Structure 1
Amino acid sequence: MAAEKDRDLDLEPVSMYVLFARLFAHITKEVGEQCGEVGIQAVREGVRQFGLERGRDIARRAKALGHENDLEHYLSSYDMGRADDFNSVNTLCDEGLIQDFSGCVFAEQWQKDGTEKYGIHYCEVIDPSIAEGYNANMECIHDQHFFKDGKCHFCFRMKKES
């Protein structure tokens, strides 16, 4: 019996992205259960502050590399490696910087665990916050999500002056 159980174990190290997704879902679930909607909004604000900080750090990286904090240098100055855990096609065009993700380890883990209702709070907030922190004139339109569309689509663009 013990030998069978051992064969079922995955002995490879767990990706830090998988661990992050699980941790985020557990924290968000518990905060929601303990504090209700006020707690969920606090989690979202925490994600927003984290994103703003990351965006400011990405802007500092761009500057250190001798670049402006513009659309062209956003991804080349980015702070997180994508490796095989994320699959995207990135296109810089007149419309802006378009990212089409066909794979996201966070979304895949939340779907596998049935915790999409917690993960969505990260998904909806993080990229717009990073963009704002990177450049206050940059916005992120996240109009397709893995949970309902099977992929994520982002358009990063500079806000139109009014």
Structure 2
Amino acid sequence: MWLYHAPVDRLVLFDYRKGRDSSGPGEMLAGIKGILQTDGYKVYESLYGNHPDILLTYCMAHARRYFVNDEKQANYVLDEMQLLYALEQRMREQELGWEKRTEERKKDARPVLERLEKWLKENQYRYRPQSPMGKAIDYTLPRWAGLSAYELHGQMEMTII
């Protein structure tokens, strides 16, 4: 089951396919332009990673879940991510428009995202690749530009779940 969500338009579409190959999203998203936020599944990267009309972005919750597998080692990352979630929660409670959300993210989220990126780069070889932290960093770092892209525009969401 493929799920497509257009948050600005408040639309959700479920599309049943027999498999998880690229034919489903390839057909469903043919001709789209703009921002595409996904869970990081490799099919999206193969279809849209270098697409001239699509900015491929990712869901922070999907990255965060890998760090939760080793909370003791991941305290720093989880604490920093919690600052991002708290900012999003505060903006929802204040019912800020997308322009103000963009402004707040540039002011408050950008420094956190920069610290996280620095930590990921500094620690990418510190953990064995098959350890929980190694897997978390290996999932997150190659997707970092797409994970942090939500900061650029207030209509985007930090997570898709």
| TM-score, normalising length: structure 1 | 0.26
Larger-gyration structure (1/2): 1
- Write 1 or 2 for the structure with the bigger share of helix: 1
Query: Higher strand proportion, which one?
Result: 1
